[in-house]
Amino acid sequence: WYHDAPLDQTEHPTEKTTLLLRQHIGTSAIPCVQKGERVVRGQCVAEIPEGALGAPVHASIDGIVSEITEQSITVIRG
């Protein structure tokens, strides 16, 4: 019942993305960027405190940080 599933590298552009600061059962990441700051795809935008279990968060698009809440960081393309 195996089906061939070739990799599809088609890009699906988005104008806005919301990055959750809590990725799993660990600690929420702490933003290391500010509202209005320009970020690039792959840049770390939130880090885990030293000694804590969690996952750092990286920007998935180039853009500008439009909002930071306790739960998320929103980046708009720009």
53 and 43 in contact (C-beta within 8 Å)? no
pLDDT in tens, 1-45: 677 888 888 888 899 999 999 988 889 999 999 999 999 999 999
60 pLDDT higher than 90: yes
- Give the DSSP H/E element, type plus range, for residue 58: strand 57-58
* Token pair of 32 as six digits: 């290391």
pLDDT in the model for residue 1: 64
Distance CA 20, CA 22 (A): 6
Q: Which residue(s) pair with 54 in the sheet?
A: 27
Distance CA 25, CA 63 (A): 28
